[in-house]
Amino acid sequence: MGELLEDPPAAAAVDEPPPRPARALPGDVGFWTFIAADASLFAVLFFQFSLDRSSHVSVFNEGQRELLVPLGAVNTLVLVTSSWQLASAVRSAHRRDMAKATRLICGTVLLGLVFAVLKVFEYHVELSSGHTISTSSFFMYYFIITGIHLLHLIVGVIALVVIGFRVRRDTGSPRELVIFECGASYWHLIDLLWMFIFPLIYLAR
């Protein structure tokens, strides 16, 4: 925490936000409201999936057997590793080691792209096997939930590319750190959501 309280460069003094209280959200409160709303939306989807599954167990189990579970597991490892990289990048940025933070952001972006490529390959395999959004209620949920999640991930990758360039410029402005923390929190949300999507859709029987 000590590093957080270091004096910012004088050039950034005009841009400096008020000191953060002992208990505060990283980034921006408004952005956290968006994160909470987004998490709630997924909670509703998980609830609806679970409700429908309880009335059509055999349909959901049959659909689940067609999924590439090891690929889902690999993607879980990819996402948790990306989150670790990004949390380390935030730490580096707080320590004013912007070169390392930029490298770690690049690593996170690459892992995000790996996730997206594996997911597109998975969709290709499912579609080639004749499983579409209209095949069954299971596949409807599969494509909708994982599709919305993939969309979130793509937005996250784009945001991190932009943030990576800003961090690399290293203006020394505390506002840059706030933007970075918002982006990192969004990426961790994507990871958090996948922690439930993977077992719910691929594993739980």
Partner 1 sequence: MVQTRRALTWAWITLVAITVLSFTVAESSGIAGDIETAIVIAAAALKGRVILVWFMGVRSFPLAWRTFFDAWLLVNATVIVVSHLIGHG
**Contacts with 80 (C-beta within 8 Å, 6 or more apart), sequence order:** 191
Query: Under the criterion CB under 8 A, does residue 99 sit at the interface with partner 1?
Result: no
Please choose, from the candidates 200, 161, 198, the residue with its C-alpha nearest in 3D space to the C-alpha of residue 79.
Answer: 198
Query: Under the criterion CB under 8 A, does residue 119 sit at the interface with partner 1?
Result: no
Closest approach of partner 1 to the CB of residue 200, in Å: 6
Using CB under 8 A, which of the segments 9-17, 73-81, 118-126, 164-172 binds partner 1? 73-81
Closest approach of partner 1 to the CB of residue 40, in Å: 8
Based on CB atoms, which residue is closest to partner 1, 53 or 149?
Answer: 53
Taking CB under 8 A as the criterion, which residues in 130-189 touch partner 1? 185, 188
Query: Under the criterion CB under 8 A, does residue 23 sit at the interface with partner 1?
Result: yes
Please choose, from the candidates 173, 177, 181, the residue with its C-alpha nearest in 3D space to the C-alpha of residue 15.
Answer: 173
Amino acid at 3: E
CA angle (63 as vertex; 194, 124 as ends), nearest 5: 70
The residue within the footprint of partner 1, chosen from 68, 80, 159, 178 (CB under 8 A), is 80
Query: Under the criterion CB under 8 A, does residue 203 sit at the interface with partner 1?
Result: yes
Q: What are phi and psi of 26, to 5 degrees?
A: -70, 140
CB 108 within 8 A of CB 160: yes
Closest approach of partner 1 to the CB of residue 135, in Å: 20
Site size for partner 1 (CB under 8 A): 49
The residue within the footprint of partner 1, chosen from 47, 124, 151, 158 (CB under 8 A), is 47
Binding site for partner 1 (CB under 8 A): 1, 3-4, 22-26, 32, 36, 39-40, 43, 46-47, 50-51, 53-55, 57, 69-70, 73, 76-77, 80-81, 83-84, 86-88, 90-91, 94, 185, 188, 191-192, 195-196, 198-200, 202-205
